Amino acid sequence: MSLKVLILGVNGFIGSNLSAHILENRDWEIYGLDIGRNKISHLLDNPRFHYVEGDINISKEWIEYHVKKCDVILPLVAIANPSTYVSDPLSVFELDFEANLEIVRHCVKYKKRILFPSTSEVYGMSMDSPYNEETSTLVTGPIHKERWIYSSCKQLLDRVIYAYGSRGALPFTLFRPFNWFGTGLDNVWEPKEGSSRVITQFLSAMLHDRDINLVNGGEQRRCFLYVDDAMDAMLRIIENKDNCADGRIINIGSPDNESSVKQLAETMLNIVAEYPGYENIRERVNVNVVEGRTYYGEGYQDLVTRVPCIDNAKNLLGWTPSTSLEDGLRKMIAYYMAASPSEQDLDANPPSIKTSTTPQKIAV
Ligand code: UGA
């Protein structure tokens, strides 16, 4: 019998890419729930892809039934965008913590294997470099720096899952994405400033002739991981050969793809300038320096650098990332440059969400 994988938030960045990779490379069945379907429409006809439209806070019976029925549970519904941490921290708490705690408890009840998306943000402003899953301290800022509510929610769920797991009540793996990027990360066609993570924000600015904003000068550094490498790691975690991922915390990132935000903007401008019609992109797009509190609000606080130790991923999963930052950016930019107007619609948020005054319930 083939493995049954439950993906809550199947239309999100990770959910949609993971589903495509599973259907292409494995014989597993996917049961997926989401409020939207725009990023998975090309998968809906696959007989191994069982999609239902629903909200994690409403479709509770469907969720409990499918936790019981499936072998592996991936709760990927969360707000994962720093601007929302600052503008609407309570929605982050309600969705990322409260709603997901219920899923964790279902997994405990039915003794089902949970693969929980922790985050690089749990390390916060830790001075370690690289960040190690077993030894690094987790450092967040004062309470009025509301950016840290996301990190805190994820950290507490990590601790809850670990506590259940270490007492034999829950099979688990905590995986920690480090700045994954690729097609489907946020909405490139959404022109709203601050609405997405840095790579989509910059690409969106270049496609709409808007300014690029380097928050606090852009000297802060991240290690970016291309989505295909990330999905290779995810398949290995789900596969769990010889139980290699059981009870483990695993950073999934690329230390070799470290870049400052300023360098990232330069790299992206250089690639975009190679496309016909974009040769003069540097004249059309200003690169500004803005203060973090002006751009995001008073509750924002940043970290200087964030590098993952990936020994666990290498040793447990036999995984190493292989796509350079520039190659990954080239692939992502090529996709959006070739997108037809109808594909642009597909990548946009469904109208019901777009017009909502409440924050989007998005899936990471
Ligand atoms: C991200 C998000 O919290 C999550 O997506 C995730 O859990 C985690 O970290 C991750 O992906 O590893 P962050 O790295 O700050 O946080 O993500 P971005 O919003 O992409 O920002 C990266 C850096 O670019 C920040 O220093 C930000 O200030 C800067 N930035 C962002 C700009 O300079 N200009 C912009 O227009 C947008």
Domain-wise residue ranges, the chain: 4-181+225-255
Instruction: Say if CB 250 and CB 174 are below 8 A apart.
Output: yes
Residues in contact with ligand 1 by the CB-under-6-Å rule are 80, 82, 119-121, 150, 177-179, 197-198, 201, 213-215, 218, 220, 222, 261, 302
Closest residue by Cα to atom 17, ligand 1, is 197
Percent of the chain with pLDDT over 90: 90
At residue 193, the 3 state secondary structure works out as: coil
Lowest mean pLDDT among 35-49, 163-177, 179-193, 280-294: 179-193
Distance 80 CA to ligand 1 centre (A): 10
For the CA of 196, the closest atom of ligand 1 is: 19
274 to 139, 259, 269, 282: CA distances (angstroms)? 41, 21, 9, 12
Return d(Cα 234, Cα 171) in angstroms, integer.
16
Predicted confidence (pLDDT) at residue 349 exceeds the cutoff of 50: no
Query: Mutate which of 215, 252, 269, 285 to test ligand 1's pocket (most atoms within 8 Å of Cβ)?
Result: 215
Dist. CA 121 → ligand 1 center (Å)? 10
pLDDT (0 to 100) of residue 362: 55
Distance from residue 82's CA to the centre of ligand 1 (Å): 7
Give the HSE-up count for residue 70: Cα atoms under 13 Å, Cβ half-sphere. Answer: 27
In total, the chain counts a number of residues equal to 364
What pLDDT was estimated at residue 179?
98
**Which numbered atom of ligand 1 lies nearest the CA of 303?**
26
| CATH architecture of the domain with residue range 4-181+225-255 | 3-Layer(aba) Sandwich (3.40)
CA torsion, points 160, 163, 164, 168, in degrees to nearest 10?
A: 160
pTM, to two decimals: 0.94
Per DSSP, helices labelled H in the chain are 13-25, 60-69, 82-87, 89-92, 100-110, 148-166, 198-207, 227-239, 261-272, 281-284, 292-295, 311-317, 325-338, 341-347, 351-354
Q: Report the mean per-residue pLDDT for the chain.
A: 93
The protein residue with its alpha carbon nearest to ligand 1, atom 19, reads 197
pLDDT tens by residue, 126-157:
999 999 999 999 999 999 999 999 999 999 99
> Which two structure tokens, joined as six digits, stand for 51?
């999609």
**Separation of CA 69 and ligand 1 centre (Å):** 36
User: Which amino acid, one-letter code, is at 272?
Assistant: V
Transcribe 293-336 into DSSP letters. HHHT-TT----S---B--HHHHHHH-------HHHHHHHHHHHH
Tens digits of per-residue pLDDT, 219-271?
999 999 999 999 999 999 999 999 999 999 999 999 999 999 999 999 999 99
In one-letter notation, the amino acid at residue 110 is Y
Residue nearest to ligand 1 atom 28, measured at CA: 215
User: Which atom belonging to ligand 1 lies closest to the Cα atom of 306?
Assistant: 14
Residue 215, Ramachandran bin (φ over 0: left; ψ between -120 and 50: alpha; else beta): beta
Helices and strands per DSSP (H, E), number in the chain:
15, 13
Identify whether the C-beta of residue 315 lies closer than 8 Å to the C-beta of residue 244: no
Looking up tokens 């930052």 gives 325
Rg (CA), the chain: 19
Centre of ligand 1 to C-alpha 49, Å, is: 32
